[in-house]
């Protein structure tokens, strides 16, 4: 997440104190004493947030806020004032300020607002990068997340393999996302206009191999856990590949397939045919710096699916995520994101909950989400949830909730 804070404050003593607070929190302050000194640093691609005093000589904080919103309405601006002025606070929020703080402000409260603003900015910039990737048609950038060196290398390798053509063997731990990588290779290859067909290796007998290759004609056949293929399917696949299978084959395994070749469980000639191009997918434990980015994306996806607001992902949550080894890789992280959205906090064991308890957690989260979206307006909420008013109130009582608590 970005850590840059453009601090605009005309009083040197206050500016120095706030600078120290930011630096002690491992943030990167950029200092300016006026609108003129700050304006050239504000661009649409600015990777941070703006904190500005309201009352300054010349152009004041509201003028700066208006200037920022003309350049980028999604760049958070936090206003500071030395006067407790309710009308001014109302004006600030109406003008599009991210928040409004009274000086002197307790460091804890000041940093809390900064962290929320930085998280919001990071999400905006991440969404823009993905939209650019989507518009440019780069499936690797669009679908393989993470900014670590290993993730960057994986994207480069996938692009290269897609261009070359030929069979591919994907290797990686359980839950590492082989299916998604196979799809990216397909989308970046000449086979993209044609079908992408997925089959489990264990299901591919001789007839099933023929059916799958025909279904994927001129496209891509992805075989999950290829080492589990029965012998008859292995022979049939090898024969079709040697005579021209009609589709590119991408096979994946989470098991040491070389051992299966040595003990005769997997056909050696088929292995060497599939192992023409190999792509190893790094485990999450090898790229921990990607975990916060992936988690935030999975949380956003879960919120969209459940029609719930985006929850606050605190530094404490992030620290606990990064402290884990994630043997289940991306799939386990995705499940954790879903539980997080539904109100099951990190560290809870969903396996210890019965179906009724899990459904109750989900129901409560959906009720809270609807009340937040509609500011506690019961008439709108019951229409959204398609519930009779009495049933809605019964469910609120069951979960200890009150609609009035969510009214603005």
Both structure tokens of 123 = 């999400």
Q: Give the span between the Cα atoms of 312 and 318, in whole angstroms.
A: 11
CATH code for position 179 = 3.40.50.300
Q: Which of 282, 297, 312 is the C-terminal boundary of a domain?
A: 282
Is residue 206, in this structure, part of any structural domain at all?
Answer: yes
Given 83, 109, 131, the domain boundary residue is 131
Q: Which position has the token pair 């003129």?
A: 36
| Judgement on whether residues 107 and 147 belong to the same structural domain of the protein | no
**Residue 204, both tokens:** 């591919």
Query: Mind giving me the DSSP string for 2-50?
Result: --EEEEE-S-HHHHHHHHHHHHHTT-EEEEESSHHHHHTT--TT--EEE
Same domain, 378 and 291: yes
Q: Are residues 265 and 292 in the same domain?
A: no
Residues of the chain with pLDDT below 70 are 1-2, 84-86, 130-137, 344-358, 361-362, 365, 408
The residue behind tokens 């040197």 is 12
Question: For 172, how many CA atoms within 13 A lie in the half-sphere containing its CB?
Answer: 28
The answer to whether the peptide bond before residue 104 is cis (omega within 30 degrees of 0) is: yes
Judge if 88 and 194 occupy the same domain.
Answer: no
117 and 10 fall within a common domain: yes
Nearest residue to 19 (alpha-carbon basis) of 2, 1, 31, 4: 31
Tell me if the pTM is above 0.75.
Answer: no
State the Cα–Cα distance between residues 237 and 201, nearest whole angstrom.
Answer: 11
Q: What values do phi and psi take at 322, rounded to 5?
A: -75, -15
Residue 149 sits in the same domain as residue 275:
yes
What are φ and ψ of residue 2, in 5° steps? -60, 150
For residue 88, what pLDDT is reported? 75
Same domain, 330 and 239: no
Q: Kindly state whether residue 137 falls inside one of the protein's structural domains.
A: no
Name the DSSP letter for residue 179.
Answer: H
Output the domain CATH number for residue 125: 3.40.50.2300
Structural domain total, the chain: 3
The DSSP bridge pattern shows strands 248-253 and 28-32 to be unpaired
Q: Which of 329, 15, 364 is nearest to 180 (CA)?
A: 329
* pLDDT tens figures, 220-237: 999 999 999 999 999 999
C-beta separation of 8 from 34 below 8 A: yes
Task: Give the separation between CA 60 and CA 54, rounded to whole angstroms.
Answer: 6
Last residue of a domain, which of 251, 282, 313? 282
* Residues 13 and 43 reside in one and the same domain: yes
Cβ pair 364, 392 in contact under 8 A: no
Q: In angstroms, what is the C-alpha Rg of the chain?
A: 27
Range of the domain at 320: 286-406
Q: Residue 152 to residues 55, 126, 177, 279: CA-CA distances in angstroms?
A: 45, 16, 16, 13
Among 254, 252, 256, 291, residue whose Cα is nearest residue 274? 252
Within a domain: 136: no
What is the predicted pLDDT for the residue at 131?
64
In this structure, the answer to whether residues 181 and 245 fall within a common structural domain is yes
Same-domain status, 213 and 297 = no
Give the model's pLDDT for residue 247. Answer: 94
């Amino acid at each position: 997440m970005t850590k840059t804070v453009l601090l605009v404050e005309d009083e040197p003593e206050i500016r120095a104190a706030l600078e120290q607070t930011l630096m002690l929190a491992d943030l990167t302050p950029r200092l300016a004493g006026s609108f003129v000194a700050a304006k050239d640093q504000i661009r649409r691609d600015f990777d941070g947030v703006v904190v500005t005093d309201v009352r300054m000589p010349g152009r004041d904080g509201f003028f700066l806020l208006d200037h920022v919103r003309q350049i980028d309405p999604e760049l958070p601006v936090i206003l500071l004032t030395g006067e407790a002025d309710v009308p001014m606070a109302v004006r600030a929020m109406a003008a599009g300020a991210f928040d409004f703080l009274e000086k002197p402000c307790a460091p804890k409260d000041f940093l809390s607002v900064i962290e929320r603003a930085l998280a919001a900015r990071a999400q905006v910039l991440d969404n823009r990068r993905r939209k650019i990737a989507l518009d440019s048609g780069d499936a690797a950038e669009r679908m393989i997340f993470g900014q670590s060196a290993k993730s960057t290398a994986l994207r480069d390798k996938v692009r290269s393999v897609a261009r070359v053509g030929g069979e591919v063997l994907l290797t990686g731990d359980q839950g590492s996302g082989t299916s998604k990588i196979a799809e990216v290779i397909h989308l970046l290859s000449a086979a993209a206009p044609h079908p992408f067909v997925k089959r489990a290796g264990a299901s591919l007998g001789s007839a099933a191999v023929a059916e799958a290759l025909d279904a994927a004609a001129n496209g891509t056949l992805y075989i999950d856990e290829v080492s589990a293929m029965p012998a008859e399917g292995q022979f049939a696949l090898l024969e079709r590949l040697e005579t021209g299978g009609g589709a590119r084959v991408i096979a994946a395994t989470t098991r040491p397939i070389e051992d299966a070749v040595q003990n005769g469980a997997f056909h050696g000639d088929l292995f060497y045919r599939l192992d023409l191009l190999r792509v190893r997918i790094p485990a999450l434990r090898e790229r921990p710096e990607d975990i916060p980015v992936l988690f935030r994306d999975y949380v956003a996806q879960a919120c969209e699916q459940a029609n719930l607001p985006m929850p606050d992902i605190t530094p404490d949550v992030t620290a606990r995520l990064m402290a884990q080894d994630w043997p289940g890789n991306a799939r386990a992280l995705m499940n954790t994101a879903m539980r997080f959205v539904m109100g099951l906090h990190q560290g809870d064991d969903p396996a210890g909950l019965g179906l009724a308890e899990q459904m109750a957690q989900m129901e409560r989260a959906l009720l809270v989400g609807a009340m937040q979206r509609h500011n506690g307006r019961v008439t709108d909420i019951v229409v959204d949830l398609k519930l009779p008013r009495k049933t809605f109130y019964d469910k609120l009582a069951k979960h200890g909730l009150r609609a009035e608590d969510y009214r603005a």
